[in-house]
């Protein structure tokens, strides 16, 4: 199998050379001159001194004998050439920060190399390359192999990005990196012939395909002895430093592609995230759940309490909201007869941005008919331990300064027990507001924030405030907070034995809420009543109230099986398993303000 694949993919530049007959020599001659130009740059630059060469804009990809040399000379005589450069109309006054290093010396040199390759008939941006092996698989398979095994292994073809290069005269070492990792290449002048010069002219950052035999160097490193190679993509910009990588946090987020190239730990985080999601799907599918997709643009943003993003549909002439939760649609599917459904996708909340919040975030929501919230506590313990065990191989995690053991069973703390302990008094739904407020104030809670425009503070706002301020910060080990007051849960089922509480839990790990679940309210009359209470709050100007969704009530009127539903924040779950403190470290492209100067006009 490897033999055939290799035979089929001789290096492209060879093909190109042998296709041309008469022009071949001329092309090679041109290429030699062009490649030589780079080496002779210094002399060339010294010869060129005529200032008028700056007057005309030079195409960005101009060959080495035109644009490159004189542009490089620019910095030498101070600011004047830069002013001329700014005067070039094509570049304009737009936001230049993103592209400002076009004039950089290294970029210019690489453009020249690129043109030299083209002049030689080589396509620097290649095409398909039949890959037979990946770097890490080779290391896994041959890491401990004997010399004889390596010799008998046969040819391998890999493709990837050159991430380091050590030129040693008539031999040259490099590492290429593919999706799985890195492997060393060893190129020899006697093995590559004319192509050797091409190999040593490769820049760190270039993509190549390479074919060769496996070997081990004197220092024991598994290495591909290069027999042939082909250009797949030329890199015009230099990579960050090999030793420190890219440290600037802003650039790591804005240019995640560079972060992923040079920072292996960043790559590992997103690989883990991908595996978490795949494992969750497998976990749910194995239990009979089916994956569905429900609207992200909704006429009524429901299922949670949050400020939505508004967008507009032109043809319909109507505003739509980016969903704040998929909940109400997933429960419509329970009505429709899908007993176990789940969705893994984005929700959007138009609220603050910090280390725990991104405007768009990924949630797993799942619903199981004929189950209740206690079933989901068991399921959640299973799910989390399955993830940790299968992906990390352990249940004992480190998260920042915290040691977190996921071994079940997890603590279960009733909401009012938590509030009572925090305030040093017995608190129930019947406790009057006045002594509650006094006790909260005595513990340093600022009640001004909850009073708002509503005048007197309803007791449940006090409970919530006390819980968030005094209880949540203590919930480091996995804890199910259970039995919430009904006022905080307009979509949850009442407890039979205590109708002022609902069958609900929130899972806290490392003081952060990771999951929220309840036995779903399936009584349409009760649901309509609670929606109306919420609507009244909305009408009084309380933004923290739920919208009334009449079609959802109508759906319940057809009958929804008793069910339990749960939402799990995938970003936060990933943070926990990857030991990351900022949500931006687990989102590939977190939201940032646009880069560039505010006073620069927008590009047309």
Residue list 538-567, contact with RNA (CB under 7 A): 544
* Cis omega (within 30 of 0) for bond into 409: yes
Angle at 419 between CA 381 and CA 472, to 5 degrees: 50
The smaller minimum CB distance to RNA, of residues 34 and 335, is found at 34
Which x/- pattern, by CB under 7 A, does the window 181-220 give for RNA? ---x-x-xxx------------xx----------xxxxxx
Q: Which two tokens stand for residue 505?
A: 């839990």
Structure-token pair, residue 39: 């080496």
Binding string to RNA for residues 113 to 152, with x set by CB under 7 A, is what? ----------------------------------------
The separation between the first and the last C-alpha atoms of the chain, rounded to the nearest angstrom, is: 53
What string of DSSP letters covers 274-325? Answer: HHHHHHHHHHHHHTT-EE----SEESS--SS-SPPPEEEETTTTEEEEE-S-
Which listed range, 17-25, 162-170, 496-504, 552-560, lies at the site for RNA (CB under 7 A)?
162-170
Q: Least Å distance between CB 219 and RNA? A: 3
Contact string (CB under 7 A) for RNA, positions 378-417, x = contact: ----------------------------------------
Q: Are strands 181-188 and 207-216 parallel, antiparallel or unpaired?
A: unpaired
Q: How far is the CB of 365 from RNA (least distance, A)?
A: 12
> Binding to RNA (CB under 7 A): which residues in 74-103?
74-76, 82, 86, 96, 100-101
Closest CA to 341 of 288, 286, 383, 280: 288
For RNA, the closer CB: 83 or 525: 83
Name the one range near RNA by CB under 7 A: 290-298, 372-380, 491-499, 580-588: 580-588
Q: Which is nearer to RNA, 4 or 39 (CB)?
A: 39
Give the per-residue SS3 of 491-502: CECEECCEEEEE
Provide the strand spans (E) within 109-221: 155-167, 171-178, 181-188, 207-216
Among 198, 246, 276, 371, binds RNA (CB under 7 A): 246
Give the interface size with RNA as a residue count (CB under 7 A).
90
Question: How far apart, in Å, are the Cα atoms of 501 and each of 154, 215, 493, 561?
Answer: 69, 69, 9, 21
Sign, CA dihedral 580-586-589-594, equals negative
Which one of 22-30, 404-412, 422-430, 581-589 is the stretch in contact with RNA (CB under 7 A)?
581-589
Interacting residues with RNA between 247 and 286 (CB under 7 A): 247-251, 253
Which of 60-68, 357-365, 404-412, 554-562 is the region at the interface with RNA (rule: CB under 7 A)? 357-365
From candidates 26, 47, 313, 357, binder to RNA by CB under 7 A: 357
61: closest CA among 118, 125, 123?
A: 118
Among 386, 513, 533, 542, binds RNA (CB under 7 A): 513
At 551, list the tokens: 């079609």
Tell which one of 106, 310, 396, 536 touches RNA (CB under 7 A): 106
The answer to whether 460 contacts RNA (rule: CB under 7 A) is no
Q: Note whether 32 binds RNA by CB under 7 A.
A: no
Rule CB under 7 A: say whether 39 interacts with RNA. Answer: yes
CA distance 488 to 455: 19
Of 225, 155, 159, which Cα lies nearest the Cα of 12?
159
* DSSP β-ladder status, 222-233 and 181-188: parallel
Can you tell me which of 223, 263, 522, 527 binds RNA, judged by CB under 7 A? Answer: 223
What is the C-alpha separation between 501 and 484, in angstroms, rounded? 6
Binding residue (CB under 7 A) for RNA from 3, 354, 526, 551: 354
Please give the backbone phi and psi of residue 416, each rounded to the nearest 5 degrees, phi first. Answer: -75, -25
Q: Does 312 bind RNA (CB under 7 A)?
A: no
With binding defined as CB under 7 A, does residue 104 bind RNA? yes
d(C-alpha 545, C-alpha 395), whole Å: 38
Q: Which stretch binds RNA (CB under 7 A): 47-55, 298-306, 331-339, 435-443?
A: 298-306
Under rule CB under 7 A, residue 593 binds RNA: yes
User: Rule CB under 7 A: is residue 244 a binding residue for RNA?
Assistant: yes
Q: Does 476 sit near RNA (CB under 7 A)?
A: no
Binding to RNA (CB under 7 A): which residues in 321-350? 349
When binding is defined by CB under 7 A, the residue of 171, 391, 433, 477 that contacts RNA is 171
Contact status, residue 433 vs residue 459, Cβ threshold 8 Å: yes
Query: How wide is the angle at C-alpha 170 spanned by C-alphas 232 and 175, nearest 5°?
Result: 40
Given the rule CB under 7 A, which of 130-138, 388-396, 552-560, 595-603 is the region that contacts RNA? 595-603
Rounded to the nearest whole angstrom, what is the least distance from the CB of residue 158 to RNA in the complex?
16
């Amino acid at each position: 199998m490897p033999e055939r694949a290799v035979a089929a993919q001789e290096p492209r530049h060879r093909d190109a050379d042998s296709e041309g007959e008469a022009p071949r020599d001329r092309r090679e001659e041109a290429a030699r001159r062009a490649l030589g130009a780079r080496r002779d740059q210094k002399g060339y630059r010294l010869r060129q001194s005529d200032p008028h060469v700056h007057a005309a804009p030079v195409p960005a990809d101009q060959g080495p004998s035109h644009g490159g040399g004189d542009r490089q000379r620019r910095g030498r005589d101070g600011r004047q050439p830069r002013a001329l450069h700014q005067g070039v109309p094509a570049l304009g006054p737009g936001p230049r920060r993103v592209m400002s290093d076009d004039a950089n010396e290294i970029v210019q040199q690489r453009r020249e190399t690129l043109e030299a390759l083209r002049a030689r008939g080589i396509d620097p941006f290649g095409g398909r390359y039949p890959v037979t092996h990946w770097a890490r698989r080779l290391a896994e398979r041959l890491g401990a192999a004997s010399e004889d095994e390596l010799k008998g292994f046969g040819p391998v073809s890999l493709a990837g990005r050159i991430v380091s290069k050590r030129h040693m005269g008539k031999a040259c070492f490099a590492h290429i990196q593919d999706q799985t990792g890195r492997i060393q290449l060893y190129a020899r002048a006697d093995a590559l012939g004319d192509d050797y010069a091409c190999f040593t002219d490769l820049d760190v950052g270039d993509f190549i395909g390479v074919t060769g035999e496996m070997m081990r160097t004197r220092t024991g490193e598994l290495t591909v002895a290069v027999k042939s190679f082909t250009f797949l993509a030329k890199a015009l910009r230099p990579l960050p430093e090999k030793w420190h990588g890219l440290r600037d946090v802003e650039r790591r987020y804005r240019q995640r592609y560079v972060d992923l190239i040079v920072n292996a730990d960043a790559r590992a985080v997103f690989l883990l995230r991908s595996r978490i999601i795949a494992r969750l799907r497998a976990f749910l599918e194995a239990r009979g759940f089916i994956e569905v997709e429900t609207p992200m643009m909704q006429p009524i943003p429901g299922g949670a309490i949050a400020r939505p993003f508004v967008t507009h549909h032109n043809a319909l002439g109507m505003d739509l909201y980016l969903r704040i939760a998929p909940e109400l649609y997933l429960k419509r599917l329970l009505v429709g007869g899908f007993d176990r459904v789940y969705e893994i996708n984005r929700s959007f909340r138009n609220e603050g941005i910090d280390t725990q919040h991104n405007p768009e975030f990924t949630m797993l929501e799942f619903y199981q008919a004929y189950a209740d919230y206690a079933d989901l506590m068991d399921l959640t313990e299973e799910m989390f331990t399955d993830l940790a065990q299968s992906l990390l191989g352990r249940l004992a995690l480190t998260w920042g300064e915290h040691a977190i053991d996921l071994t079940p069973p997890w603590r279960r703390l009733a909401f009012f027990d938590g509030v009572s302990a925090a305030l040093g008094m017995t608190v129930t739904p019947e406790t009057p507001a006045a002594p509650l407020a006094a006790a909260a104030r005595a513990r340093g809670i600022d009640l001004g924030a909850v009073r708002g425009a509503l005048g007197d503070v309803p007791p449940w706002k006090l409970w919530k405030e006390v819980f968030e301020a005094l209880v949540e910060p203590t919930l480091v080990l996995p804890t199910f907070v259970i039995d919430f007051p009904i006022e905080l849960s307009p979509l949850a089922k009442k407890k039979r034995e205590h109708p002022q509480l609902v069958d609900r839990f929130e899972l806290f790990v490392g003081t952060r809420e990771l999951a929220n679940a309840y036995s779903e309210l399936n009584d349409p009359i009760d649901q309509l009543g609670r929606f109306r209470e919420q609507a009244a709050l909305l009408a009084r100007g309380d933004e923290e109230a739920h919208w009334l969704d009449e079609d959802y009530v109508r759906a319940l009127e057809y009958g929804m099986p008793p069910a339990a539903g749960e939402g799990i924040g995938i970003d936060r779950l990933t943070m926990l398993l990857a030991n990351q403190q900022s949500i931006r470290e687990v989102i590939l492209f977190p939201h940032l303000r646009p880069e560039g100067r505010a006073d620069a006009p927008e590009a047309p």
